[in-house]
Amino acid sequence: MKLRDLSATKQKFFQANQQITIKQKADYFRDGYLIIKDFASSLECLTLKQVIQPYLKQGESEEVIFSTQDQHHCEQQYFLESGNQIRCFYEKNTKQGATIREVNKVGHALHAQDAVFKRWSTSPNIARLAYDLEMKQPAIIQSMYILKQPFVGGEVTCHQDATFLHSSPITVTGFWLALEDASVKNGCLYAIPGGHQSELTQRLVCNGNRQVYMQRLVENEWDIKEAIPLEVKQGTLIVLHGLLPHYSPVNYSAASRHAYAIHAVDLASQFSNDNWLQNPCIERLGYC
């Protein structure tokens, strides 16, 4: 299906100077990821960390557990209807002796439903970067605040973002902002350099009856030993190609690893009808 720009008002195209260098662009298309230091200030990071707090305390009626190991959360309406909502998802495990579950992430429409997150997500810096990476009509369709809590922050298994946000051609691009330092100790991202040059291995498909299942496309096993840690400081942005295999391990440390991630697609591509994400909030980039 063709995604429609649902912005409230007609806006004019934003013209901006190139943000990344020719070398950085070449590195991105070679490796499948790009690390941009000091993309956000410490004040911006602190602001986003503060703004998320009320959403963590809003007392959800459903404690839906998010886990990439079994995908059971995908079967629940609470998850399937979160594409244009701000909802909490919880960790599979809890701290010893704890009576409540820790929040795993908040999603999936912070970029549209919260004014502060929207301002950052659709900023000229993000727009300029998307165009620099050759997106013709970039638009954000999903956002997540990821907490990676101390001691219980769950593993995110190795995956490609196009598995969950498929289009023809594949155009999904991730923008992952470190709101806190991310290291091997507290579960930083790991990626396989050049892995985006491989095929899409599987797709999360939602059929007409709103039943969700994982469809295997090719029998391909990634060599996790080839993955390298992407250790970054607060304020660093990591751009991820939609076919890049990446993951993050469990956080066993006493330090949290907060991050804000947005996913954009090119509106020039055909967004698949059977994606799990239905009726997403679309915020077109490059407009002001």
Within a domain: 7: no
Q: Is residue 230 part of a domain?
A: no
Question: How many CB atoms are closer than 10 A to CB 18?
Answer: 11
Separation CA 220–CA 170 (nearest Å): 18
Residue 225 in any domain: the answer is no
Counting Cα atoms < 13 Å in the Cβ hemisphere of 180 gives 18
140 inside domain = yes
- Mean pLDDT (the chain) is 88
Average pLDDT estimate for 135-141 = 97
Containing 5, the helix (H) or strand (E) segment is none
Q: Supply the pTM of this predicted model.
A: 0.90
55 within a domain of the structure (yes/no): yes
When mean pLDDT is compared over 11-15, 54-58, 147-151, 207-211, the highest value belongs to: 147-151
CATH number for the domain including 140?
2.60.120.620
- Structurally, the chain folds into a number of domains equal to 1
Residue with tokens 């979160």: 82
Would you say residue 17 lies in a domain? no
Question: Domain range for residue 130?
Answer: 22-92+102-200+236-284
Q: What are the pLDDT digits (tens) for 139-183?
A: 999 999 999 999 999 999 999 999 999 999 999 999 999 999 999
Given pLDDT bands bounded at 50, 70 and 90, which one contains residue 261? very high
| Cβ(266)–Cβ(138) below 8 Å | yes
Name the token pair of 50.
């503060």
Task: Name the DSSP class of 50.
Answer: H
The answer to whether residue 211 is domain-embedded is: no
C-alpha–C-alpha distance, residues 59 and 61, integer Å: 6
- Can you say whether the dihedral through the CA atoms of 84, 203, 199, 196 is positive or negative? positive
Residue 209 lies inside a defined structural domain of this protein: no
